[in-house]
């Protein structure tokens, strides 16, 4: 049974039983506490918790999910996958335990010919929460399960809650017995791979509080409406129904595994370690494909970091299979072909996805090359020192700075006959993670528990009137102070205010929130932020500047007219720049992100090379020509499918509802789905001045532009600057570039002459310094202060020249100078001096300790520095004393 068939049977089964079929939500979760959608129930949490009224009594979905907490287990077990699909059926105060158990048993055991999954009842086991006698009775009655195939387990496995106060309840899990070939008898309680969990039924029936851990909480009462949340692992059922050993061998994943095997020349099934690597590649490529199809791009933080890690682990696994060249174009194509039937967007967005993937691969392959060179030097140095172990800080440097996987460092060090100090490496990694966690905690925005919005949301949705109105009379539905409901907020306090209607735009679609005020009888509020904390509600973060505001009172929202004008200019300007980019570069220059506020816009787009000055000017000119042409800006609302048929551009990675807003500028010249605020004609934008273009990733570029008055002010400032320069240099504006070029050339020629004079002056000092060599212990020693120098390179060259002047003698040259206001020391030794036991690195470290700093280096040449220029004589004396012993 193919995975697509399993998926469709699920949806058909529950649709026939009155469930609304809900499309999968994006992998990018709307929940601010989650990076990704980690379970099938995540999109339904507002309905399950009662924060948002459910639009249906029962629903079903096949939800895309990503989990990365078990990433190290991928490929090693039959069931751990980063990307997976969760079949779910949900009841919001409708059916409860008996209905959920009845549906589950019916679908699992109905023969395939009749639309079911055809599992044999004798192969199925269930677990229930230890005190849930009701569920046990239902399983016996509905399924006819004997007592011995129903196991009672504790809260750690069979009780569900969010980890916060709110709804909770016992679970019942269904397991498939793979047979004695896979482990010992004893049922799911044995926690063995023989028993594979395929379906979890959550009976959400209690309100809990005082949550201290997964197992430590207090049950407050039963919920007035009991809910059902279930999840079946689609990949787990697929590998069981397809008769393969694990989820990596099912029809949606195996093609990538096979392509990795072909590219590497290795055979799957011949070697355990190679098999794990192929399974990692198959999982990570598919996971990356699905993440990128939902708009995630590689970066160094958040979701982008997770994606980058998956991609780099894939490259590393291919390298360990013996493939050092690029492979993503082959591997991603295999995954696309396996997934496009279930998710057509992976094919429609494939050009952007592949561009991102290949760009990341090229970058990391270069990183691996650079890291390999550094590792080779570190290995050689370690061997020279006689140590059998590569230093942990070297391995950490490679990992942290160059993105060089520790596994690759271990492998290459082992090939060179060295171990790696894992204890030191792991300690440094632990310290880094601790710092990162502390930093993340300090930066994390304090968000109110979303349940505090439930009562307000129950009163209806906040109506946004700001497309046509700048002032709107309304009513205060609720107030939060310090994240908790409050009857009033008084002067000086910062609070969240929820209104029935508002003209203030909430941040979304890349557009910053409006600025403005909220006023009423006896109070005035300064608006600091406008957000959408839960679907349907708009929250205004305000500072109470006068009086006090209470719930239920009348209030009027007032948008800052000048700020809104600038914001609409910037958002419409973003559309113009996007259209101009695509006109010049082609359709692959697809917007991947944006931000705009009054006077400024930023647009990220898929492209892998910098814009030339001529191309940048052309894009700017096209956008400003569209402003000059005074194009009409028309907004319409329509069904999503109709908008796409009209050619409206759905931006890569954005999430849209069934009804969308289409913004046309000049008819089809620029036609995008967009919920932002816009001008009515393009001439209102005024002017676009592109001020920056830069890289924001391997295959992503960023254009930054000033808009309207801000754009004009930049041009005016640049005109004033040109005027001042032409006056100072006594030339005309059109001759300014040539005049500056002449001056730069003259300056460079003068610098060369100065360098030549300085080099001669340094050379003239060499004989006098060499003449000061004195026998000290077993060597000739020059230990002198040479005053102030322009750079460390000058001091280093002087020391080497003096050492050369002393010929083959056993000589040590220790020079110190003031460079940039700080002391610097250089020590150079001849081969004969090193044979006599003199070590430049040790002597430089000795001098540096006296100077109040650190130093070291190789036995023949080393340097040190510090902060105390006055300690130079003492540092030189320390060298004399050390060598004179």
Q: Could you state, in chain order, the average pLDDT of each consecutive group of 10 residues for the chain (885 residues)? A: 94 96 89 81 84 90 88 78 94 95 97 95 95 95 93 92 82 94 89 87 91 89 89 94 92 96 94 93 96 86 86 90 93 96 89 88 82 81 84 81 71 81 84 57 41 80 95 95 92 95 94 96 96 91 95 96 96 96 88 92 89 94 96 94 84 70 94 94 96 84 94 92 91 90 90 80 86 91 90 89 92 92 93 92 91 87 91 92 87
In this prediction, residue 241 carries a pLDDT of 95
| 22 within some domain | yes
| 354 within some domain | yes
**Helix (H) and strand (E) counts for the chain?**
25, 34
171 is known to lie in a ligand binding site:
no
CA 848 to chain centre: 42
Are 626 and 534 members of one domain? Answer: no
Structure tokens at 105: 């048993």
CATH number of the domain that residue 125 is part of: 3.30.930.10
In this prediction, residue 19 carries a pLDDT of 96
173 forms bridges with which residues in the sheet?
127, 200
399 is known to lie in a ligand binding site:
no
Domain stop point among 530, 559, 588: 559
In this prediction, residue 438 carries a pLDDT of 52
575 is known to lie in a ligand binding site:
yes
Are 12 and 158 members of one domain? Answer: yes
| 813 within some domain | yes
Spatial separation of the C-alpha atoms in residues 399 and 429, rounded to whole Å: 9
Spatial separation of the C-alpha atoms in residues 421 and 424, rounded to whole Å: 6
Domain stop point among 443, 469, 492: 443
Are 13 and 134 members of one domain? Answer: yes
In what helix (H) or strand (E) does residue 137 lie, and over which residues does it extend?
helix 133-138
Are 553 and 573 members of one domain? Answer: no
Count of structural domains within the chain: 5
Are 474 and 575 members of one domain? Answer: no
In this prediction, residue 426 carries a pLDDT of 85
Going by DSSP bridges, is the β-strand pair 779-789/811-819 parallel, antiparallel, or unpaired?
A: parallel
In this prediction, residue 263 carries a pLDDT of 96
Are 135 and 176 members of one domain? Answer: yes
Full domain range(s) for residue 615 = 564-716
Structure tokens at 829: 């030794």
Structure tokens at 884: 């004179």
CA distances from 152 to 198, 501, 603 (A): 17, 51, 56
Going by DSSP bridges, is the β-strand pair 83-92/58-66 parallel, antiparallel, or unpaired?
A: antiparallel
Spatial separation of the C-alpha atoms in residues 428 and 773, rounded to whole Å: 45
Are 570 and 695 members of one domain? Answer: yes
Residue 134 neighbours by CB under 8 Å, 6+ apart: 97
495 forms bridges with which residues in the sheet?
542
Structure tokens at 313: 């682990």
Structure tokens at 27: 């992998």
Structure tokens at 372: 């390999």
| 740 within some domain | no
Residue 836 neighbours by CB under 8 Å, 6+ apart: 778, 779, 810
| 737 within some domain | no
Are 76 and 225 members of one domain? Answer: yes
Residue 653 neighbours by CB under 8 Å, 6+ apart: 26, 28, 294, 295, 296, 297, 592, 593
Give the phi and the psi of residue 627 in degrees, each rounded to 5: -65, -45
Are 260 and 287 members of one domain? Answer: yes
674 is known to lie in a ligand binding site:
yes
| 751 within some domain | no
Are 331 and 399 members of one domain? Answer: yes
In contact, 880 and 843? CB cutoff 8 Å: no
Are 675 and 583 members of one domain? Answer: yes
Structure tokens at 394: 């070297």
CATH number of the domain that residue 507 is part of: 2.40.30.130
| 79 within some domain | yes
In this prediction, residue 115 carries a pLDDT of 93
| 874 within some domain | yes
Structure tokens at 379: 């290995």
Per-residue buried b or exposed e for 372-391, using 16+ beta carbons within 10 Å of the residue's own CB: beebeebbeebeeeeeeebb
Spatial separation of the C-alpha atoms in residues 241 and 539, rounded to whole Å: 48
Any idea what DSSP says for residue 508? B
CATH number of the domain that residue 707 is part of: 3.30.980.10
In this prediction, residue 394 carries a pLDDT of 84
Are 579 and 639 members of one domain? Answer: yes
Domain stop point among 559, 587, 622: 559
Any idea what DSSP says for residue 448? P
């Amino acid at each position: 049974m193919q995975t697509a068939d399993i998926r469709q049977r699920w949806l058909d089964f529950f649709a026939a039983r009155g469930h609304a079929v809900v499309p999968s939500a994006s992998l990018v979760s709307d929940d601010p506490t989650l990076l990704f959608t980690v379970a099938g129930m995540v999109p339904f949490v507002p309905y399950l918790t009662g924060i948002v009224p459910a639009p249906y009594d029962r629903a079903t979905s096949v939800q895309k999910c990503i989990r990365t907490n078990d990433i190290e287990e991928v490929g090693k077990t039959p069931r751990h996958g980063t990307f997976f699909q969760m079949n779910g059926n949900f009841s919001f105060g409708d059916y409860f335990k008996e209905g959920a158990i009845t549906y589950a048993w019916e679908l699992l055991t109905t023969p395939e010919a009749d639309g079911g999954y055809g599992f044999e009842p004798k192969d199925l086991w269930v677990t229930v929460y230890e005190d849930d006698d009701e569920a046990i009775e239902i399983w016996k009655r509905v399924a006819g399960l004997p007592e011995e195939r129903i196991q009672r387990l504790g809260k750690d496995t069979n009780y569900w809650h969010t980890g916060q106060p709110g709804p909770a309840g016992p679970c019942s899990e269904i397991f498939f017995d793979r047979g004695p070939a896979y482990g010992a008898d004893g049922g799911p309680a044995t926690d063995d791979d023989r028993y594979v969990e395929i379906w979890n039924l959550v009976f959400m029936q209690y309100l809990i509080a005082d949550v201290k851990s997964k197992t430590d909480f207090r049950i407050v009462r039963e919920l007035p409406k009991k809910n059902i949340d279930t999840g079946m692992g689609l990949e787990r059922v697929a590998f069981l129904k397809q008769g393969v050993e694990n989820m990596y061998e099912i029809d949606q994943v195996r093609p990538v595994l096979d392509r990795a095997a072909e590219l590497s020349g290795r055979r799957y099934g011949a070697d355990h370690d190679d098999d794990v690597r192929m399974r990692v590649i198959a999982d990570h490529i598919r996971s990356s494909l699905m993440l990128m199809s939902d708009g995630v791009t590689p970066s160094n933080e958040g979701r982008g970091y997770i994606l980058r890690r998956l991609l780099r682990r894939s490259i590393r696994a291919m390298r360990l299979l013996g493939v050092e060249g690029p492979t993503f174009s082959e591997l991603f194509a295999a995954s696309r072909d396996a997934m496009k039937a279930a998710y057509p967007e992976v094919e429609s967005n494939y050009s952007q996805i592949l561009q991102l993937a290949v760009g990341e691969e090229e970058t990391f392959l270069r990183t691996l090359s650079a890291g390999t060179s550094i590792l080779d030097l570190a290995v050689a140095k370690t061997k020279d020192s006689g140590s059998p172990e590569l230093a942990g800080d070297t391995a950490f440097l490679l990992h942290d700075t160059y993105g060089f996987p520790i596994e690759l460092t271990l492998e290459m060090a082992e090939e060179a006959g060295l171990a790696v100090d894992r204890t030191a490496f792991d300690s440094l990694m632990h310290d880094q993670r601790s710092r990162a966690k502390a930093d993340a905690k300090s930066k994390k925005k304090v968000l109110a528990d979303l349940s505090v919005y439930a009562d307000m949301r129950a009163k209806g949705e906040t109506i946004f009137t700001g497309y046509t109105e700048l002032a709107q009379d309304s009513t205060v539905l609720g107030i939060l102070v310090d994240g908790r409901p409050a009857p009033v907020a008084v002067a000086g306090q910062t609070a969240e205010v929820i209104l029935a209607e508002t003209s203030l735009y909430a941040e979304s679609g890349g557009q910053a929130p409006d600025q403005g005020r909220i006023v009423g009888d006896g109070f005035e509020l300064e608006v600091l932020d406008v957000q959408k904390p839960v679907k349907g509600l708009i929250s205004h973060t305000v500072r109470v500047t006068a009086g006090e505001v209470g719930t239920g009172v009348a209030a009027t929202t007032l948008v800052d007219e000048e700020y809104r004008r600038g914001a609409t200019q910037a958002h419409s300007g973003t559309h113009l720049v996007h259209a101009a980019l695509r006109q010049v570069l082609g359709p692959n220059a697809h917007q991947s992100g944006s931000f705009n506020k009054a006077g400024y816009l930023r647009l990220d787009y898929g492209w892998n090379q910098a814009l030339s000055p001529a191309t940048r000017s052309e894009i700017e000119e096209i956008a400003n020509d569209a402003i000059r042409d005074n194009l009409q800006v028309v907004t319409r609302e329509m069904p999503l499918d109709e908008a796409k048929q009209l050619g409206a551009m759905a931006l890569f990675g954005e999430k849209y509802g069934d009804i969308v807003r289409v913004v046309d500028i000049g008819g089809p010249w620029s036609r995008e789905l967009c919920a932002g605020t816009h001008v009515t004609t393009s001439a209102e934008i005024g002017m676009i001045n592109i001020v920056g273009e830069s890289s924001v990733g391997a295959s992503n570029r960023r254009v930054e532009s000033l808009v309207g008055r801000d754009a004009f002010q930049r041009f005016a400032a640049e005109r004033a600057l040109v005027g001042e320069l032409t006056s100072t240099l006594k030339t005309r504006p059109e001759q300014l570039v040539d005049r500056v070029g002449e001056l730069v050339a003259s300056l460079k020629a003068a610098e060369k002459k100065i360098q030549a004079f300085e080099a001669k002056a340094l050379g003239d000092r060499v004989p006098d310094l060499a003449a000061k060599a004195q026998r000290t212990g077993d060597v000739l020693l020059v230990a002198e202060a040479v005053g102030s120098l322009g750079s460390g390179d000058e001091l280093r060259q002087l020391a080497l020249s003096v050492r050369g002047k002393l010929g083959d003698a056993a000589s040590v040259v220790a020079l110190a100078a003031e460079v940039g206001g700080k002391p610097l020391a250089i020590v150079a030794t001849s081969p004969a001096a090193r044979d006599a036991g003199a070590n430049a690195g040790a002597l430089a470290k000795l001098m540096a300790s006296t100077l109040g700093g650190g130093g070291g280096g190789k036995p023949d040449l080393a340097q040190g520095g510090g902060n105390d220029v006055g300690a130079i004589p003492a540092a030189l004396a320390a060298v004399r004393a050390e060598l004179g012993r």
